[in-house]
Structure 1
Amino acid sequence: MVVWGKIGVQVVEAASDLFEKSKRSLVGDGSYPGFVRAVLAQVPEALRSSDPEECGYVIYAQTGATVQRRVADIMPGDVIMFQDAKLKGHKNLHAYSQAVGMGEGGALVGIVHEFEAKKSKVRVWQANQHVGQQSVEIVSYRLEDLKSGQVKVGLD
């Protein structure tokens, strides 16, 4: 918790600033890892991995519906990575299915905006891959809806 209080808050502030700037200009190189690198570049104490699809010290790991590692709570400012993830569940009364972090784009990497432990729901700042819209968006994912693939959350 002490580490989060020092660095996590700075990561959240940097991500929030870049989210606001993204309404006017491109953030990073427009890719998922490019956004995360741009955020972490503004936080001098943050660890930086040479691999853009790494998320530092892993505090949470889930493959399919099975949680394999939970060292600490997911906190705002943590780095999250979805790899070949398929989510399937319900939003309101409607069923949905979603594929994330697949194909040529590689893993989806973002910064945790907030986490609701009760609903296992994470809101993520991530690069927006849709042309003509702001370059950073906030997207919600329910971790309990993960059917296949991998999710990792780490401290950077």
Structure 2
Amino acid sequence: MAVWGRVGVQICEAATTLFDKSKKSLIGDGSFHGFVAATLHEVPNAQAVAPPEAYGALVYAQQGQTVQKRVSEIMPGDVVLLRDAKLKGHKGLAAYSLSVGQGEDVVGIVGEFEGKKSKVRVFQANQHVGQQTVESVSYRLDDLKSGTIKVFRVLEA
């Protein structure tokens, strides 16, 4: 928790700032990893990372519907990685199905986490054609049917 207080808050603020700036200019190289690297570069006391697996300490891991590791609560400023994730659930009365991280891992910065609903809001690179900006996307961890979700806590340098 002490590590999060020193680094996590600054990472979340940097991600929010880059989210606002992304309307006008390209952030990083436009990729998911590029956005996370650009965000962590804005925080001087964040430990340097070596993607894809070394974003910091693993605090949460989920494979399919099974939570394999939960060291602590997910916090804003953590790095979330989705690999071959298929999510299926309901938004209001409508059913939805979503495939994320097919071929390339989706990596983003946690903006907020709702523990009761197990819902995480993530700042991530927008990979739609012609729109290499940053978007804010919400995922329900309970809706994961297959694939992997990992959450890392960035350490202090």
> Structure 1 residue runs of 4+, over 6 Å off?
none
State the alpha-carbon separation in 2 of the partners of residues 72 and 36 from structure 1: 21
Q: What TM-score results when the alignment is normalised by the length of structure 1?
A: 0.95
Show the counterpart of 1:129.
Answer: 127
Matched AA of 1:40: L
Matched AA of 2:68: Q
Contact 1:63/1:149 (<8 A) preserved? yes
State the alpha-carbon separation in 2 of the partners of residues 134 and 127 from structure 1: 7
State the alpha-carbon separation in 2 of the partners of residues 54 and 95 from structure 1: 35
State the alpha-carbon separation in 1 of the partners of residues 47 and 107 from structure 2: 15
Deviations 1:26-74 (CA, angstroms, capped at 9, x unpaired) = 1000000000000000112212222245432100000000000000000
Show the counterpart of 1:96.
Answer: 96
Could you tell which deviates more after superposition, 131-140 or 12-21? 131-140
Q: Cα offset for 1:130?
A: 1.4
Residue aligned with 1:144, SS: helix
State the alpha-carbon separation in 2 of the partners of residues 111 and 78 from structure 1: 6
State the alpha-carbon separation in 2 of the partners of residues 57 and 150 from structure 1: 16
Percent identical among aligned pairs is 64
Could you tell which deviates more after superposition, 41-50 or 21-30? 41-50
Q: Cα offset for 1:84?
A: 0.5
Matched AA of 2:19: F
Show the counterpart of 1:41.
Answer: 41
Alignment of 1:1-156 (within 5 A): 1-103=1-103, 106-133=104-131, 135-156=133-154
State the alpha-carbon separation in 2 of the partners of residues 41 and 75 from structure 1: 19
Contact 1:55/1:81 (<8 A) preserved? no
Deviations 1:112-155 (CA, angstroms, capped at 9, x unpaired) = 00000000000000000113446000000000000000000011
Contact 1:30/1:135 (<8 A) preserved? yes
Q: 1:74 to 1:11 in 2, by over 3 A?
A: same
Could you tell which deviates more after superposition, 120-129 or 133-142? 133-142
The root-mean-square deviation of aligned C-alpha atoms, in Å, is: 1.1
Q: Structure 2 unaligned runs (5+)?
A: none
Residue aligned with 1:85, SS: strand
State the alpha-carbon separation in 2 of the partners of residues 86 and 134 from structure 1: 23
Q: Structure 1 unaligned runs (5+)?
A: none
